[in-house]
Structure 1
Amino acid sequence: MRPYFKFSILLFLWLPLLSLKAQKATDNGIDNYTVWGVVADSVDQTKMEWVTISLIDLKTDSLIAGTYTNRNGQFELKNISQGNYKLRFSYIGYNSAEKVIELLPTSSKKIDLGTITLSPSEVRLNEITVVAQVPEMQVREDTVEYNAAAFKVPEGAVVEDLMKRLPGIEVDAEGKITTATGKTIRRVFVDGKEFFGNDPKIATKNLNADMVDKIQVIEKQSDLAILTGVEDDDPETIINITIKKGMKKGWIGNVNGGIGNMTRQPSAGQSRYTLNGNANKFSDDDQLSLIANANNINERGSTSRQNAISMGRGGNDGGGITSSNVFGINTANRINNKLKAVGNITYNYSDNNVSRKDNRLNFFKNDSTTYRFSNSSSRNFTDNFSVEAKLEYKPDTLTTIIFSPSFSHNGSVSRRSSAQQTHIDSEIGEMANESFSNNRLNSEGTDVAMGLDISRKLSPRGRRISLSGSFFTSHNNGTDNNISETAIHVPTIRLTQLNQQSYTDANRNASNLRFTYVEPIAKNYFLNFSYNIQRTTTENLRKTFDYDSTLLDYVRLNPEFSKSSNNLTTTQNIRINFRAQLPKYAYNLGINIAPMYINSKSFIADWFQNGVDSVLYDPRARKAINYAPQLDFNYRLGDKNIRKNIRFRYNGRTRQPSIDQFDPTPNTTNPLNIRTGNPDLLASFTHNGSLEFNYNHREKQRSLIASCNYSYIQNDIVNFTSYEDGIQHTMPINVSGSWNTNGTLLYSGALDKKMKLKFTTHTNLGYRNQIGYTRVSKESQKNISQTSTLAESLSLSYNNDWFYGQFRGTVNYSNTNYSLEHLKSQRSFRYNLSYNTQLTLPKSFSISSDIRWTANRGLSTGYNKDEVIWNAQISKSFLEGNRGQLRLLFNDILQQRLNISRNVGSNYLSDSETNALTSYFLLSFSYRIRSINGSGHGRMGRQDRNME
């Protein structure tokens, strides 16, 4: 790390001097004036970028100078002579504003105009809607914005249905959202305010699509980063949903109920139902949302929150058939000019039934391969209750205090049975081992967390100090009953039978304290210093008892399955950054110094007698210091109609081994895969670099996102695998040389002058170099897997008043080569073709249909299957303002739905298939809630339809 440290110090010293020299060269005109300020929306006070500022001479009415606001709404005009002027502020869709200024000999050389507000022009916006087509997508530096009006969805659709049609956005079967650059969405905001905390599904699966104006994918800094200006190394990517202006005048929402049945062998036991409703009141300052959802059609209305024990043993497999119930209340209020509050209460329950089969190939030396076939079925019941809040208090204009408490309690009951066989060299070769098991796990857990951020501005130039603290505690416990039988066939037959009951108690406490200081060293140049210390303690207690056939109870402590551990980790982070914020570019350069202390041990609790433990592993405390340079450079180009920006980032990150990876004592919980830790492990260090380019042409409605990412891992922690006598042994070791890179290109534009025919292409190229080790017959050898991936998606859509159609084709290609010569390349393809359409017919009828063909090639035997999924619905709107709606929905008409996936590693590949909810029909009735200031208003329903 020493060369990176020296390089960072040189840049750290050189860039400030260069920037100050450039500034001095432009400030020689002592008789000239400088005018600056900020432009914001008069409604929600958000800072406005690309506002045009014109400086006009009052006597001659001639234009003297001009500029645009930057991403923070800031502008600056330099070298202005004495005189009388007016400043004109203009932006499309807003009323223009003017301000007269007099520059006299007695005036200050630097004039701060403060905040200038612009009010939306409703008339102008309506005119634009009539004469121009709405652009599908716009790109602005750290934001990608989609216009909902450009993507028609079926009547009664929710936000998730809308998002599935957005270019560059992927929504999987479980509702997980991934952006064009590969980021996973973990939070959704509504009109810039948090909506049900860290549960994006509550928004995407419950809010109606017809209330959405725009969907914005935003690279959001943390609250502390926003307060201090010290940006996060890896900012969170969120989605912000903006609500149509006409729907902010009262209550809006929807109530829906439907019932149906499976189309294949329909019966009372195969009936399908959905009951859901939401009522929302959105305004510029306040929000209130009530949500309820119950169904058995796999529409999980929230994220499953399982505790650590249920996730580790017997948790949700994913997929399958799910029944779920969700109830929630979310509120955001501006209580007064000093205090804002956001909070939510949620309860969710799910019943998940999964059948799964897996085919895994393990590659070893000397042309040795094992084939593992497994089948499992599980039933998982989970429920969770949570409360979250955030209070933001500003006692004055200089101080901000944010308090964030949360509480959750969850429980789960899981039943699982599985059977597996492992064969040598071929699918029907010699059997190495076989096993079956039945598990029953009951667990519950409680989490409590709170955070406090205090920040105070010390000077108008940007001097700021902040103090942040947080505390988290969790307690989880569970009881696991396991009945299993394992037979190992090589070199001789050995049989192991278990009938056990285990008790697990896991506790975790974490506290964090952070101090940040920002010092302005010149105009637009800042020096940031921060110190952070975090202390984490974890205790995992496990006791396993064998069944005594004489006493008919679980009474004999089995030490082999009763390993417990505790761990203490103290992490410090010292960070120094130099930051520049200029109209055309910004950069952030610094270094992190991170001392770490780890003290851990493993033991068997109460082995000899109550209160007397047997220590298995108690090493000396480990200490380490890691250095991580940071660089972020952002350059802005373009004008009012064309926006461009280029951004380069580099950061380094350290990952410490866990206590299980350190502990050299064997973990024999799974008799076929014995895991052993490695006390000589070192921390891994990952170098991350990225280059991004964004382009947006407003008038021609063309947008482009291009990015390239690269990461290299030093001392990567990988599993060293050996296979002896029918048993797999796994131990973590350090290797260097693993790396991966990927590039993304997303382009969207119109193909015709009327801009009704839209084209999108999304290309993703990837390459991964992965190192693994394997051993057979006590000999080890390195195996490097090199995986190339290509994903290409083409989309064509057409939209007018009565018709919407979107065609999309996708190809996913993967090829893996191995350094061991006897291993064959593994190549697979996945093809998708889809078409969805919506017809708006007379008499308030609507027909929608989507059909998707999927084909898998190159997978294991029995997994190369094709499917054609066809869904369709017909709807009729009626009642005053078309508030009522009757819908007949057909899901998976051709009865072909599959759930197939592939996973590739350095010395294995695995194909899996889970059960799926196939064809059913559903007849439903829904009623739209539309009111103004609490009173029903029939015309509001018609107005909403016109807005679409």
Structure 2
Amino acid sequence: MRRLHFLSVAALLFSMQVYAQTGRQVTGVVKDSTGATLPWATIKLFTDKDSSVVATNSTGRFTFSSVSVNQFSLVVTSLGYQGVKRRYNLAPNNITAELDPIVLKSDPITLQGVTVTNANAVKIREDTIEYNASAYKVREGAVIEDAIKKMPGLEVSNDGNITAQGKQVNKVRLNGKDYMAGDVKSLTRNLPANLVQNVQVINDYGDQANITGIKIGDPQKVLNINIRKDKNHGYFGQGTVGSGRDAVRETAGIKNGGRYVGATNVFSFQDKRQITISGDVNNTNTSLFTFTGGDRPNVFGPDPKGITTTRSLGFNYRDDWSKKVKVYGSYSLADNSVYTTLKTVQNNISGQLPSVQNSNSTENTQNLNHRFKFNIEYKPDTVNYFKFIPTFSYSGGRTDQNFASRLQAQNIGNTLISDYTRSLLSHTKAPNFGLSALYNHRFRKRGRNFNVLLASGTTRNKQYQNPVYNYLEGNANAPVNQMINTSRRTDSLGLSLSYLEPISKKTYLEFNYQYHNVQTGADRLTDTVAGAGDVNRDPNLSNDYNFNFITNNFTVNYQVIDQKYNFTLGVTAQPTLLKGSSSATAPTHKTIFNFSPVLHYVYNFSDLQALALDYQGASNSPVYYQLQPVIDFSEASYPIQGNADLLPEYNNNFQIRYNKFGDGTGKTFFVNLSFTQTDHKIVANTVTYPRNYKADPRLAGAILTKYQNASGFYNASAYYAFAKPWAKRRYSLFFNGKVTYNNNISYLTDVLDSLGIDQTVQKNIAKNFVLSQGVRFRVDIPEVLDAEASASYSINQSKNSVAHANIDNNFQTITLGTNGNLYFLKNWTLNYNYSKMIYEGFSGSTNPNILNTYLERRFLKNNIGTLRFSVYDVFSENTGFTSTQNAYAITQSSVNRLGRYYLLTITLRLQKFVGRPPRGMPGGPGGGG
């Protein structure tokens, strides 16, 4: 903590030195000839001594916060418009200057297709990194994901997930507004690249921070894609249909059907009104949307991939209903079927009773998801702003699983503990309702501001599970036939108040209060079915549990905003209450008071170089299964029992980010460093029972997971990326690497006698080290070749303080690959994507060669048609191996993936865009409105 205080003071002194300058604030707005404001226009200010650059925000406004001269020039440019130069001579005072609106006229030459060749490929704007889409050439008809793959610091996985500077991007926006509730792939894999002006990666601190400028907490990585000004009006429509078959018609007795795909996307842009309709039906393991859910830990390793049949539909809408009301929202639906086979080897760490489990499972899952989110922005005047966000989501599903497990002791000659099979039928329904409202008031005094954010939500979760066990040998743990009904409801209420008071032209004080209340009530009723079909309630496995988590957060922040930097230093106090009640245990009431500094510092050396520092502290509540005190026996060898006496965690997070782009050279360099230390970390206490345990026969040979608080947990990570293009970006070299170090904690309890009297408890410190390093070389020659060669190496190893023999804790993966497009005979494309995986340390692993390829032909006028023949997994070696390591188990898994198949598809594209409304349309020449 002393180090954090030292860093805060040092940063404050540094910012004070930079702040020692004088000047006035100069603001204005940029519009087009129709009177509409122009966001993202570039404004360059020139004086006799220096220059500076800013951009307009989403409402077309720009601000120079410190102009120290009275005479200066502005050069204003925007893609699709004629640039202007204006000379200003202001009165000699320090009063804020509001310039007359600057009007840009459409540039007919630009609208005909002339591109900017010397534009900076990358820019930095405080917490935003902006990529100029025109600098990353892709072929006609390509989607924006293809351009993103070429942008330094951004990584796109084969399934479409994007990481930015080593951190997952989990939200996407179109022209500054959430698209499809933020679902990333739904936009990046469908939006044509030729419609895009730029791609921005934003460290987003939330709506309140965007209004006040006070940025605290852990920012969310957001991808914002802005449409070109000359594509503001028009439409784009695309449809794809395809059919194929598997190379192997039957595998392991399972008939493989034919492959099929059908997809459509329609984008309609009429300036502020934007409508998108997307649909997809396929059984080729591709998904239009990403939905997540579930709160029970997976003790059998990572989530499987499997073979998926997808049916999805989405609708996105945005419009300005009037000058005062703006709306945007979306609805998405996904109905997916997944078939999965999974093989797992799990080594259970124990001081005296280590064991290994070998398991196999097959699973058929049907998932249904709905998601609705709507945003209403109301601005009745220049000082008041309202935003309302109603939301609804629903997740439901059915799972049929067959599971086989063989658990053996490792230090007693691999003695068998249990051998059983299990069939599982489960149903889940989880509707979620939410509403949030934001109000902001800007006072007459410049900079004085007040806002309030209110959020509420209700989630209901109903689950039915019917695990039926067949014990072959060894111990019989869970009841043979259970019917488990869980009904849970969670109500949440949040309130945030912020008041901003200017001290001077560049300094502010913020007073912030946050209240968060989450209340959960759950009934868990377990019935056992006897051989004769009699159903009996098991009171030892049933419970009625309620808990309440309440936080009050009081914060005072001091902020300095300058053209070069943004600095926030504050202090926060957070009293926290966690209380619970149960029919099985006495009530609990836990109160904790946390106190920590707040630090956010961004220094922009230029629009090509920036440094950022962040520190935050935050409480984290335990979840339901960690608290409820009754044993969950749905997994026979791995029952779970919560601890009602848990304290909430408190995380101390510190991050440093540095970004630099070579002016004119195209070189880019990113580095991110982060460190997290957790007080009262909630960790697992795995209790291993002997095979002859008699006090409770159901626990004989089982490993019961309990939870408790512990000290000593921390993790650190570092990420870097370096890119060097040359020869007008025809050739590019990329290096990227990530290192993660986790000091994991767990408790290992060994019960050594049959009555549980003799026990040993050991604290295990698992030092987990993960290293990955990659290099890529790209060649981009328009209409000739677009190719890449890559190599990566990753290692995942751990060292436990509790000795554990006969266990492999060192996993390594080497990946060699190449992919690209070869363009020939004007309209033909040969695509290939090859990778060679080399696994070390995995049980039973193979080293697959995976090759996907297609041959494509464009046809019809303006190449609106595409015919493609694809072969996936040419060598039929597609397999997946993963490893996970924590302080109580090391798990390696292999999962089925879709094998070799052939697919023939035809795609038709229609599009027409202009920079202004056609004549006769509302808002256009001769039109109404």
TM-score by length of 2: 0.88
Q: Distance in 2 between matches of 1:68 and 1:212?
A: 22
CA displacement, residues 82-119 of structure 1 (integer Å, 9 cap, x when unaligned):
xxx562325586744344544557x7755333665666
Q: Distance in 1 between matches of 2:132 and 2:96?
A: 40
Q: 1:219 aligns with which of 203, 206, 216?
A: 203
Identity of aligned residues (%): 23
Tell me what 1:943 maps to.
none
**CA 1:89–1:880 in 2, change beyond 3 Å: closer, same or farther?**
same
Q: 1:852 aligns with which of 832, 835, 843?
A: 835
Q: CA deviation at 1:193?
A: 2.2
Secondary structure of the structure 2 residue equivalent to 1:395: coil
Q: Distance in 2 between matches of 1:380 and 1:101?
A: 67
Q: 1:675 aligns with which of 640, 644, 654?
A: 640
**CA 1:537–1:900 in 2, change beyond 3 Å: closer, same or farther?**
same
**CA 1:434–1:41 in 2, change beyond 3 Å: closer, same or farther?**
farther
Secondary structure of the structure 1 residue equivalent to 2:249: coil
Tell me what 2:696 maps to.
none
Given that 2:77 and 2:84 are in contact with CA atoms closer than 8 Å, whether structure 1 keeps it comes out as no
Secondary structure of the structure 2 residue equivalent to 1:387: strand
Tell me what 2:578 maps to.
598
TM-score by length of 1: 0.86
Q: Distance in 2 between matches of 1:666 and 1:774?
A: 18
Tell me what 1:231 maps to.
215
**CA 1:764–1:7 in 2, change beyond 3 Å: closer, same or farther?**
closer
Secondary structure of the structure 2 residue equivalent to 1:681: coil
Q: CA deviation at 1:390?
A: 0.2
Matched, 1:332 2:318: yes
**CA 1:897–1:150 in 2, change beyond 3 Å: closer, same or farther?**
farther
CA displacement, residues 293-326 of structure 1 (integer Å, 9 cap, x when unaligned):
10010111112355769x9999994300001111
Q: Structure 2: which amino acid aligns with 1:185?
A: V
Matched, 1:811 2:793: yes
Given that 2:123 and 2:608 are in contact with CA atoms closer than 8 Å, whether structure 1 keeps it comes out as no
Q: Distance in 2 between matches of 1:876 and 1:905?
A: 50
Secondary structure of the structure 1 residue equivalent to 2:180: coil
Given that 1:651 and 1:689 are in contact with CA atoms closer than 8 Å, whether structure 2 keeps it comes out as yes
Q: Structure 1: which amino acid aligns with 2:541?
A: F
Tell me what 1:46 maps to.
39
Q: CA deviation at 1:40?
A: 5.0
Bigger mean CA offset, 252-261 vs 899-908:
899-908
Q: CA deviation at 1:391?
A: 0.4
Q: CA deviation at 1:4?
A: 8.7
Q: 1:820 aligns with which of 784, 802, 815?
A: 802
Q: Structure 1: which amino acid aligns with 2:26?
A: W
Given that 2:565 and 2:601 are in contact with CA atoms closer than 8 Å, whether structure 1 keeps it comes out as yes
Show the 5 A alignment for 1:447-486. Answer: 447-486=432-471
Given that 1:485 and 1:496 are in contact with CA atoms closer than 8 Å, whether structure 2 keeps it comes out as no
Q: Structure 2: which amino acid aligns with 1:765?
A: V
Q: Distance in 2 between matches of 1:131 and 1:165?
A: 17
CA displacement, residues 754-787 of structure 1 (integer Å, 9 cap, x when unaligned):
4311111112223222222223332122322223
Q: Distance in 2 between matches of 1:203 and 1:767?
A: 34
Tell me what 1:625 maps to.
593
Q: CA deviation at 1:831?
A: 1.2
**CA 1:237–1:688 in 2, change beyond 3 Å: closer, same or farther?**
same
Given that 1:39 and 1:69 are in contact with CA atoms closer than 8 Å, whether structure 2 keeps it comes out as no
Given that 2:349 and 2:804 are in contact with CA atoms closer than 8 Å, whether structure 1 keeps it comes out as no
Given that 1:901 and 1:912 are in contact with CA atoms closer than 8 Å, whether structure 2 keeps it comes out as yes
CA displacement, residues 728-760 of structure 1 (integer Å, 9 cap, x when unaligned):
1322222222222121111112234x4311111
Q: Structure 1: which amino acid aligns with 2:46?
A: S
Q: 2:718 aligns with which of 728, 743, 754?
A: 743
**CA 1:736–1:100 in 2, change beyond 3 Å: closer, same or farther?**
same
Matched, 1:557 2:537: yes
Q: Distance in 2 between matches of 1:470 and 1:540?
A: 22
Q: 1:295 aligns with which of 282, 293, 307?
A: 282
Secondary structure of the structure 1 residue equivalent to 2:354: strand
Q: CA deviation at 1:536?
A: 1.9
Given that 1:877 and 1:886 are in contact with CA atoms closer than 8 Å, whether structure 2 keeps it comes out as yes
Tell me what 1:343 maps to.
329
CA displacement, residues 208-249 of structure 1 (integer Å, 9 cap, x when unaligned):
455445433221231222123232411211112233555433
Q: Distance in 2 between matches of 1:87 and 1:152?
A: 34
Q: Structure 1: which amino acid aligns with 2:267?
A: N
Tell me what 1:436 maps to.
421
Q: Structure 2: which amino acid aligns with 1:842?
A: L
Q: Structure 2: which amino acid aligns with 1:69?
A: V
CA displacement, residues 841-898 of structure 1 (integer Å, 9 cap, x when unaligned):
2252222222111111122x202x2111111111111212111111111111111111
**CA 1:499–1:812 in 2, change beyond 3 Å: closer, same or farther?**
same
Matched, 1:840 2:815: no
Tell me what 2:517 maps to.
535
Q: Distance in 2 between matches of 1:734 and 1:520?
A: 43
Which segments of 5 or more consecutive residues in structure 1 lack a partner in the other structure? 28-32, 56-62, 603-614, 938-948
Q: CA RMSD in A?
A: 3.5
Q: Distance in 2 between matches of 1:701 and 1:447?
A: 46
CA displacement, residues 306-363 of structure 1 (integer Å, 9 cap, x when unaligned):
5769x99999943000011111211110122111100112221101111111111122
Given that 1:307 and 1:476 are in contact with CA atoms closer than 8 Å, whether structure 2 keeps it comes out as no
Q: 2:371 aligns with which of 386, 394, 407?
A: 386
Given that 1:37 and 1:116 are in contact with CA atoms closer than 8 Å, whether structure 2 keeps it comes out as no
Given that 1:137 and 1:748 are in contact with CA atoms closer than 8 Å, whether structure 2 keeps it comes out as no
Q: 1:37 aligns with which of 27, 34, 37?
A: 27
Matched, 1:755 2:729: yes
Q: Distance in 1 between matches of 2:292 and 2:621?
A: 26
Given that 2:301 and 2:892 are in contact with CA atoms closer than 8 Å, whether structure 1 keeps it comes out as no
Matched, 1:509 2:509: no
Q: Structure 2: which amino acid aligns with 1:593?
A: A
Q: CA deviation at 1:799?
A: 1.3
Tell me what 1:829 maps to.
812
Q: Distance in 1 between matches of 2:452 and 2:393?
A: 26
Q: Structure 2: which amino acid aligns with 1:656?
A: S
Matched, 1:587 2:567: yes
Tell me what 1:771 maps to.
745
Tell me what 2:617 maps to.
652
Given that 2:580 and 2:644 are in contact with CA atoms closer than 8 Å, whether structure 1 keeps it comes out as no
Tell me what 2:671 maps to.
706
Q: 1:878 aligns with which of 831, 843, 859?
A: 859
Matched, 1:686 2:667: no
CA displacement, residues 153-194 of structure 1 (integer Å, 9 cap, x when unaligned):
688665555545554434446543332222x22221122222
Q: Distance in 2 between matches of 1:342 and 1:416?
A: 41
Q: Structure 1: which amino acid aligns with 2:721?
A: L
Q: Distance in 1 between matches of 2:379 and 2:881?
A: 52
Secondary structure of the structure 2 residue equivalent to 1:396: coil
Q: Distance in 1 between matches of 2:798 and 2:64?
A: 52
**CA 1:630–1:26 in 2, change beyond 3 Å: closer, same or farther?**
closer
Q: CA deviation at 1:258?
A: 0.4
Q: Distance in 2 between matches of 1:273 and 1:656?
A: 45
Q: Distance in 1 between matches of 2:170 and 2:103?
A: 33
Q: Distance in 2 between matches of 1:354 and 1:307?
A: 17
Tell me what 2:771 maps to.
790
Q: 1:180 aligns with which of 156, 159, 165?
A: 165
Q: CA deviation at 1:826?
A: 2.5
Q: Distance in 2 between matches of 1:363 and 1:295?
A: 42
Q: Distance in 2 between matches of 1:21 and 1:761?
A: 36
Q: CA deviation at 1:130?
A: 7.5
**CA 1:15–1:875 in 2, change beyond 3 Å: closer, same or farther?**
closer
Q: Distance in 2 between matches of 1:799 and 1:434?
A: 57
Given that 2:122 and 2:608 are in contact with CA atoms closer than 8 Å, whether structure 1 keeps it comes out as no
**CA 1:119–1:54 in 2, change beyond 3 Å: closer, same or farther?**
farther
Which segments of 5 or more consecutive residues in structure 2 lack a partner in the other structure? 691-700, 753-758, 919-929
Given that 1:44 and 1:284 are in contact with CA atoms closer than 8 Å, whether structure 2 keeps it comes out as no
Tell me what 1:322 maps to.
308
Q: Structure 2: which amino acid aligns with 1:275?
A: G
Given that 2:547 and 2:581 are in contact with CA atoms closer than 8 Å, whether structure 1 keeps it comes out as yes
Secondary structure of the structure 2 residue equivalent to 1:701: coil
**CA 1:561–1:793 in 2, change beyond 3 Å: closer, same or farther?**
same
Count of aligned pairs between the two proteins: 888
Given that 1:417 and 1:437 are in contact with CA atoms closer than 8 Å, whether structure 2 keeps it comes out as yes
Q: Distance in 1 between matches of 2:419 and 2:308?
A: 30
Bigger mean CA offset, 437-446 vs 64-73:
64-73
Q: 2:265 aligns with which of 278, 281, 305?
A: 278
